[in-house]
Structure 1
Amino acid sequence: MKKKILFSALLILLSIIIYQIYVFTTVDEDNINPIYLIPDDAVFLIDTERPIDTWDEISNSNIWKHLQKNSYFNTVTESLNNLDKTFKEQQKIIQFLGERDILISIHVYKPKTYGLFYVVDLQKISKLSFLKSSIAKLAGEGYKVTKRQYHNHEITELYDKKKRETLYISFIKNQLIASYTHVLVENSIDQYLEPVIGRDVDFVEINKETPEDGLFKLFIHYKYLNKYLSCFSNKVNSDILKTIGNTWLYSGFDVGLKESTIIQAEGFTNFDLSSESYLRALQKSGKGKRSIAKIAPKNTALYLSFAFDSFDEFHENFEAIKEENQNNFKAYTEQVTDIENRLDINLKEHIFSWIGNEIALLHINDAISKKQKDVAVVLKTNSINKAKENLDFILTKIKEKTPLKFKQINYKNQTINFLDLKGFFKMLAGDLFSKMEKPYFTIIDDYVIFSNSPNTLKEIINTQLIGYTLASSKKFLDFNDQFDEKSSLFAYINTPYIYDDLLSFTDRKTQRQIHKNKDYLISFSQIGLQLISRGSHFENYLAIAYENPVEIGKQLRNNKNLKRDLLKKLVNENDTASVAMTKETFFKIPEIFPNDLSASEFIKKHDTGTIKFEVELKNGLKHGDYSEYYKNGNLRITGKYKKGVQIGTWKAYSEKDEELLFKKRF
């Protein structure tokens, strides 16, 4: 009898084994592409076909090893380190499963909250029934395992008793899907019969074009980028991001490491061919050589370049795209006509004709107005003499045709003018420059530079005079060598200098994390993105340079000292305030930097909030009464100016009791 039972058991076991072998080797495969299971609101998507090798290369890189020294980063990556440990301890399982295609996507599933979703392609391994049934046993005693049905699919819930979080797992054909956010698993189940991203021809195009020679492929879905960035900020620039979300479609990058210190990625970007945007105009206008780094200060936080074969071609394409929307085109032409009739000028003849092959936006971290977000628009000219002649003509017309007073100041032998052409920059290149309403401008070499703040222009003039520019920076030049010298769009971010602006744009929670981990953030010291027109889309290249934050700190201090020493050589003794308490030196008033040359007065305060000095202005020059105060509020100096020159009798007072110290006649 026992022999009979044993024989029957062996027969059943053999039958099961034969059935599993049959299923595993001979039954027609009923597989599904993992991309079909990604919920449609993914903002980022990572795809790797060799996760183990990828992880080995990343974890052994210099970047990773240096970042592990950062306590916050080490805490954040603790789970990845545990995964690395698990990989090494479970080599037999890894060898059995083999390298699997893994997709990881990021989704915003409720306001200011995002989650990760995973898809693992098990291929034929998924047909081994014990794999699904053994999950509960593999979880261990630290987990509570439950199961539930959702739309005819079983979801296994693994609750971590210690961390109080639940991992949700399900199987769809050959794919294992998982997330710590249950709605993402449910969204995947809901759409797998009617996939969205995987059937989107725009994504399919980018996925096909993006190479796969690196560690993994990264995709950006711009439709949801604004939603994702809102997780970290209450001040997201919605206008620009809405334009990107409505215009840009997908970017694909093949991500790799270069010499363990540079992250590099190449691929393609596409956009909505029916959209009304400068991007379409750029795509149709070829590429141009970048050169504005010659006058961009070394402390530039952002250099955003738009380049083309010629500006004439770009603007023709821009207008043609505008014309596709009759209502918008009508408003555009009316604005052009209004400016031309009001000033009796022709924009194409007097402005567009001298613009060369590059327009750039510079965001500068300067010392003059630290609390201002200083932005400049730089136009490369094809003829600087023609530019000067036509700008002089326009300024004359403004003086003749409008009641506005003509504003002009001289700063270190450079003329700064006020140009009242409201709406001009929006006509030039769309919404990106729309806030440049009534700018000041100056001319340096072959470039015309505009800014809403005259202090920004002063900073550019100063750094140009002392040779403190991006083009003089070996660090920038070495990084820039990785990119083609000609591009359609080029963005350069100098992370240590843009750090303060990141703080100002983020919410309090993110600010605390950024401030606490400044070294981790600025260690990725240079970021560059280049787009080059290629047919109906752009070829893109991204590079991120890593440096030890200690070295970055030294560089920043050295650069600050270098700039200070160079500027000292420019400063005239007459422009330098002396702290010596003598009649000859007490009345040497330092240079002032008003933000608005049309203002009637300028007030600057001490760090304590009390007034440091106040002076009347005329056309940006000191003109009228001047009063200066100590930190305790007592009067320090009084006098008068006329067209920037001290006149009359000036008086100086003591700090304690405002006793008269000196008088001087000018």
Structure 2
Amino acid sequence: MQAGLVRLWWVNIYPFFYWFRLPLAASSLFLALCIFTGVQLGWFRAPFSSLSPLAAVPSSSSVVIEIRDWENSQNRLQAAQYADALKAIGASEHWVDELALWQKELARLKRDKHPFAKKQIFTAVQLNGAQSLSYLHIAAQFPKELRPTQLAAQLKVPITDKHSYRGSQIYQLELPDGERFSLCQYRSLLLFSRESALVEAALEQLGSIRSSLSWEQDFLALQDNRSDSDLSFYINFQNLPLLANLLSGQSLPFVEGLANDFSWQGFDCRFQEQHLVGSGQLYLAQKDDYWSYLLNAPSNENSQIAAYLPEQLAFALTVNISAFGDYYRQQKELDPDFSRYILPYLGRELAFFMQEPAQEEDLQPAYAVALALQNPLEAKEKLKKLEGEKGLLDSMQYQGAEIRRLAKNGLLSPLFGGEFAPLQTPYYLIADNYLILANSRRQLERWWEQYQNKKMLVHNPVFKGQVEQMKNRSTLYFLINTPNAALLFKKFLRKDWRDAFDQRFLAFRSLYPMGLQLTAHKGHFLSTFSAATQALQEQAGAELLWRAALDSSLLMPPSLLQNPKTGSYFIAAQDKAKRLYLFNNAGELLWKKALGEQLLGPPQLVDYYSNGNYQLAANTKSKIYIWEEDGELLKDIPLVIRALNAVMSVDYGRGLRFFVSAADKNIYGFDKFGKPLEGWNPNSKMGALRFPLRYLEKGEKDYILGMSGSGQLYFMKRNGDRRMPTKSFKGYYLDNFYLDLEQERIVAGATNGQIEVCNLQGKKFGIPPPEKNMKGVQFAYADLLGDLRPDFMRLMGQKLYIHYYDTAQSLQAAPVYEYEAPQTDIFPIRLLAQEKALLGSYSATKGQIYLIDAAGKLQKGFPLAADGPFVVADLFDDNNNVLLCSQGKELKAYKLR
């Protein structure tokens, strides 16, 4: 046998190769060249080469996510304190949930580790129409023995569909929870998605080599330069406008500009316990003069801009403008005002930032700019010359600072690329070597207060890492202070997504501050992203947002009015000179009226015309007033008999009605024109009332409720007849009463500590005072602890007594809490994202307000100086609690952290 093989080689094969060696060599070389050329040009793949997951990812993908070890990455993410904050981003949550669902199912296999463990997984994020995102997952080196059919058998899940596409079988598996996924194994790759069309698109992609990411040069550069990470994240700027349109439902010009300027951005992310850190590169898609200038600008070492950015900002963008003068002078069109009045003293950096608060409809008033100066004296001289040429709109002194207003729009537009003009007739002041400009005088005054009180980023340890990054050769630095940026996010978010955003933002806002640094490097930008997680709790303190001047101190606490149609807030207040003020939520005075009499209760919004537009109503002892929103008096209804308390306004389907208790112990009712109502002209069945009337509808019945100071509780119909017999409460004088709609009962507290409870069927019970001989007791009713039912709170001097229902529905006494000083009044306070209420109080002897939890823990930032009780609300619809109070001749707003 061996001899036969030797003879075959020397007699038949060797002579053939010898005589035809040159043609065979030439043919082999030509074939190798063809294969090499075909591979390089993307005609086909190299024979026997390994198949990269990128070959299945279309270059049109909006976002690409790469995980090199899914099991390890997931474990590290779950251990991070910001895991829930990241999942609050809907797209992130869906992606995590899809892979976690598979991990859960594959972990049931009889293996030490499921097939995804230690495997590389790519996810291509695709736009699914104009409403949602879909995910195509590609797992590399998937075990051949676990083909979709074998995988379904081992998982014991049914295959609900099977079809062939481009020679490959696609199977649809239904997991135990009803979720369906389409799967296909292509060589060593497993393709799976909820959308069968995406699996088909991946197979199509595998047959169209040149359209895959493996041929995107900028993307490959990101891959070549990647570092060790838990996750890599790539953004396709070409698809950014489509992605932005999905989120906002509108075209965003600045996003379209980024799409034209850049190609791919990559981040290699590392999940640290308290910090999320990412690094990568950003490449230009085309040559742009402005970005090219930034790429070649000299490094700006040791930036000082953080010393001029307030810690309560929403966002800030800092830019290195070291070589801006050279770039600007080369432009074809020059702005003569900028050239004459700004350029000569221009420093090395600027920051564009947004302070808070701001109106959602218009963020412009909150915009401000900090500009470094080479020569402050020259700047002051040049700006005054500009004022002489263009006009000076305003000038004032504020706490030692000179604030002036320019009659000039778009003065700094060249610094932002020529198209963006954030400042319109701005106010400005000069602080050290920086020029600070803002669109709002109030914002500039607030900036000056914060600057004087060292409330800048550089002084706050929370921003230490971001400040260091700003100093470290930043070409651009973008900072987001998440808790203050809700209005910024919502401004660009689709309206139908805003309710969901409000809920998710409560978790996401704990991820702050977030910073993105771009540093010019060899024709592209090195990028670094960082975010920290902070404990956003009610103990985080109170920060002054704004203050509004009053002509005199207030007669009663400020009251909040929320327009049901728009959701916007107004603030009403009356001072001791009997002037009524109406402010917007930013503290800007809308109008002021001299009434000559004290209001008997807080103003209320009414729909006078029953058309969804709201007016303001309030009463003094002699008149009921209705004002339009702009302050114009719409109607006044004279009261012949002196009113005892605030008017009740109600509309039960027949137009607006007014009811008021009078000093002659009768109740009077009027329609919106002031005409007396039948049954209430007057109604003498109730007597003099200490508290305003209350209206309640329950089922087919309605109730008009009245409470006298001596404890008589009246139940009336709208026609003036009795709904049920009068109930008498114990206690020689009532302090307060609450209408509990959830429990369908009325709860009242007397000044001797007695509490009386009565339901709508007339059944009642009492809770005796916690001590004997109690006097001057203040009463409040809210859910502070225990089960979900409200608790009973009684205050006498400095001692606070709380009784609550436990989970066994038994009434329990909490430990007695003692304030540091006697309290004049107590009232429940509800904060966002907290199941339980807190307890607010006011001490007249101290001139301070307090806020405690059920355990008696005083919240950080309290006590605060104030002249009376306070209110708290989400004043700016940005998921933050804002406290309103008055002190002296000022109305103040604090953000509770």
State the TM-score, normalizing by the size of structure 1. Answer: 0.72
| CA distance, structure 1, for counterparts of residue 188 and residue 94 of structure 2 | 34
Q: For the structure 1 residues 484 and 453, does the alpha-carbon distance in structure 2 shift closer, same or farther, using more than 3 Å as the test?
A: closer
> 2:791 corresponds to which residue?
none
Q: The residue matched to 1:104 in structure 2 has which SS? A: strand
Q: For the structure 1 residues 524 and 433, does the alpha-carbon distance in structure 2 shift closer, same or farther, using more than 3 Å as the test?
A: same
Moved more, 507-516 or 90-99: 90-99
* Native 8 Å contact 1:359 1:379 kept in 2: yes
| CA distance, structure 2, for counterparts of residue 370 and residue 423 of structure 1 | 22
Report deviation, 1:247. 0.9
1:314 aligns with 2:324: yes
> 2:738 corresponds to which residue?
none
Q: For the structure 1 residues 108 and 406, does the alpha-carbon distance in structure 2 shift closer, same or farther, using more than 3 Å as the test?
A: same
Report deviation, 1:547. 2.3
1:554 aligns with 2:539: yes
Report deviation, 1:188. 1.9
| CA distance, structure 1, for counterparts of residue 352 and residue 88 of structure 2 | 36
1:56 aligns with 2:75: yes
> 1:203 corresponds to which residue?
219
* Native 8 Å contact 1:299 1:366 kept in 2: no
| CA distance, structure 1, for counterparts of residue 531 and residue 615 of structure 2 | 44
> 1:181 corresponds to which residue?
195
| CA distance, structure 1, for counterparts of residue 266 and residue 186 of structure 2 | 26
Report deviation, 1:251. 1.5
> Pick from 454, 466, 473: which aligns with 2:441?
454
Report deviation, 1:441. 2.3
Q: For the structure 1 residues 593 and 50, does the alpha-carbon distance in structure 2 shift closer, same or farther, using more than 3 Å as the test?
A: closer
| CA distance, structure 1, for counterparts of residue 151 and residue 248 of structure 2 | 39
Q: Which amino acid aligns with 1:41?
A: S
1:375 aligns with 2:389: no
> 2:246 corresponds to which residue?
231
Deviations 1:580-619 (A, max 9, x none): 59x9962899999999x9xxx965898846579xxxxxxx
Instruction: Please identify the structure whose Cα radius of gyration is greater.
Output: 2
Deviations 1:216-243 (A, max 9, x none): 221111221232233232356x111111
Deviations 1:50-78 (A, max 9, x none): 22222222223344489899999999966
Q: Which amino acid aligns with 1:299?
A: Q
Q: Which amino acid aligns with 1:50?
A: D
> 1:513 corresponds to which residue?
500
> 2:552 corresponds to which residue?
577
| CA distance, structure 2, for counterparts of residue 144 and residue 450 of structure 1 | 65
Report deviation, 1:161. 8.0
Q: For the structure 1 residues 611 and 235, does the alpha-carbon distance in structure 2 shift closer, same or farther, using more than 3 Å as the test?
A: farther
> Pick from 369, 380, 384: which aligns with 1:388?
380
| CA distance, structure 2, for counterparts of residue 385 and residue 591 of structure 1 | 41
> Pick from 95, 99, 102: which aligns with 2:121?
102
1:360 aligns with 2:351: yes
* Native 8 Å contact 1:252 1:268 kept in 2: yes
| CA distance, structure 2, for counterparts of residue 173 and residue 432 of structure 1 | 51
* Native 8 Å contact 2:180 2:194 kept in 1: yes
Q: The residue matched to 1:263 in structure 2 has which SS? A: strand
| CA distance, structure 1, for counterparts of residue 422 and residue 310 of structure 2 | 22
> 1:291 corresponds to which residue?
304
| CA distance, structure 2, for counterparts of residue 519 and residue 221 of structure 1 | 29
| CA distance, structure 1, for counterparts of residue 186 and residue 240 of structure 2 | 28
> 1:541 corresponds to which residue?
528
- For residues 128-207 of structure 1, the aligned pairs below 5 Å read 131-138=147-154, 140-141=156-157, 143-159=158-174, 163=178, 165-192=179-206, 193-194=208-209, 195-207=211-223
Q: The residue matched to 1:218 in structure 2 has which SS? A: strand
Q: For the structure 1 residues 430 and 350, does the alpha-carbon distance in structure 2 shift closer, same or farther, using more than 3 Å as the test?
A: same
> 2:29 corresponds to which residue?
none
* Native 8 Å contact 2:616 2:628 kept in 1: no
* Native 8 Å contact 1:263 1:543 kept in 2: yes
Report deviation, 1:174. 2.4
Q: For the structure 1 residues 246 and 59, does the alpha-carbon distance in structure 2 shift closer, same or farther, using more than 3 Å as the test?
A: same
> Pick from 487, 509, 522: which aligns with 1:500?
487
* Native 8 Å contact 2:139 2:189 kept in 1: yes
| CA distance, structure 2, for counterparts of residue 406 and residue 233 of structure 1 | 37
Q: For the structure 1 residues 489 and 462, does the alpha-carbon distance in structure 2 shift closer, same or farther, using more than 3 Å as the test?
A: same
Gapped regions of structure 2 (runs ≥ 5): 1-45, 557-573, 594-602, 606-613, 618-622, 633-644, 648-659, 661-897
> 1:4 corresponds to which residue?
none
Report deviation, 1:439. 2.7
> 2:232 corresponds to which residue?
217
Q: Which amino acid aligns with 1:434?
A: A
Moved more, 101-110 or 179-188: 179-188
| CA distance, structure 2, for counterparts of residue 36 and residue 59 of structure 1 | 30
Q: For the structure 1 residues 91 and 229, does the alpha-carbon distance in structure 2 shift closer, same or farther, using more than 3 Å as the test?
A: farther
> 1:18 corresponds to which residue?
none
| CA distance, structure 2, for counterparts of residue 300 and residue 488 of structure 1 | 21
Moved more, 84-93 or 483-492: 84-93
* Native 8 Å contact 1:575 1:591 kept in 2: no
Q: For the structure 1 residues 576 and 485, does the alpha-carbon distance in structure 2 shift closer, same or farther, using more than 3 Å as the test?
A: farther
* Native 8 Å contact 1:262 1:545 kept in 2: yes
| CA distance, structure 2, for counterparts of residue 481 and residue 423 of structure 1 | 31
Moved more, 478-487 or 459-468: 478-487
> 2:66 corresponds to which residue?
47
Q: For the structure 1 residues 228 and 420, does the alpha-carbon distance in structure 2 shift closer, same or farther, using more than 3 Å as the test?
A: same
Gapped regions of structure 1 (runs ≥ 5): 1-26, 324-328, 400-404, 613-628, 639-653, 658-666
| CA distance, structure 2, for counterparts of residue 588 and residue 140 of structure 1 | 76
| CA distance, structure 2, for counterparts of residue 381 and residue 497 of structure 1 | 29
Higher relative contact order (CA 8 A, sep 6+): 1
> 1:663 corresponds to which residue?
none
- For residues 111-126 of structure 1, the aligned pairs below 5 Å read 111-122=130-141, 125-126=143-144
Report deviation, 1:149. 2.1
Tell me the percent identity: 16
- For residues 69-88 of structure 1, the aligned pairs below 5 Å read 82-86=101-105, 88=107
| CA distance, structure 2, for counterparts of residue 223 and residue 67 of structure 1 | 25
Higher strand content, 1 or 2: 2
Higher helix content, 1 or 2: 1
Q: Which amino acid aligns with 1:282?
A: L
| CA distance, structure 1, for counterparts of residue 303 and residue 182 of structure 2 | 50
Q: Which amino acid aligns with 2:54?
A: I
Q: For the structure 1 residues 286 and 590, does the alpha-carbon distance in structure 2 shift closer, same or farther, using more than 3 Å as the test?
A: farther
Moved more, 288-297 or 390-399: 288-297
Report deviation, 1:295. 2.5
Q: The residue matched to 2:485 in structure 1 has which SS? A: helix
> 1:438 corresponds to which residue?
425
Q: For the structure 1 residues 133 and 604, does the alpha-carbon distance in structure 2 shift closer, same or farther, using more than 3 Å as the test?
A: farther
Cα-Cα RMSD:
4.1
| CA distance, structure 1, for counterparts of residue 284 and residue 493 of structure 2 | 28
Report deviation, 1:489. 0.6
* Native 8 Å contact 1:286 1:533 kept in 2: no
Q: Which amino acid aligns with 2:311?
A: K
